[in-house]
Homo-oligomer: A and B are copies of this chain.
Amino acid sequence: MTHMSSSAYKCEDVKQLSQLFKLLAEPSRLKILCGLGLECRPVSDIVAQTGLSQTNVSFHLRVLREAGLVRPERCGSFIYYCLPDAALLDLLEDWKAWVGRQAEVDG
């Protein structure tokens, strides 16, 4: 316990947080999330929008669904997906802003 600081060692829940980031780290998944925005869209729309294969979209939607990052809603033979929490988009925006600032600094 020599140089314990107030700022360090704050991430007890590194595991939980890294799992979340892993979900967002997949370009296809991030594209799906961002593409959804605040709207609900059927899978076929997501497929068309992202250009990914239907199989692949379904795969990633399952991952996101099981993590609670998207919520499915059946409507007829369609299944609509949407973000359960708008705050997620704000967080993503914060990172984008940060990345933008970093890019300025680094050149």
Given A8-B39, A18-B26, A21-B21, 11 more A-B residue pairs with CB atoms under 8 Å apart are: A7-B89, A9-B35, A10-B37, A11-B34, A16-B99, A17-B24, A17-B30, A17-B99, A18-B30, A68-B106, A91-B91
Asked if A102 is at the interface of the complex by the 8 Å CB criterion, the answer is yes
With A and B bound together, what is the CA distance between A13 and B92 in angstroms?
A: 11
Residues of A in contact with B (beta carbons under 8 Å apart):
3, 5, 7-11, 13-22, 24-27, 30-31, 33-39, 49, 68, 84-85, 87-89, 91-96, 98-99, 101-102, 105-106
Kindly provide the distance from the CB of A58 to the nearest chain B CB, expressed in whole angstroms.
19
Q: How many copies, total?
A: 2
Residue from B21, B37, B99, B101 within 8 A of A13 (CB atoms): B99
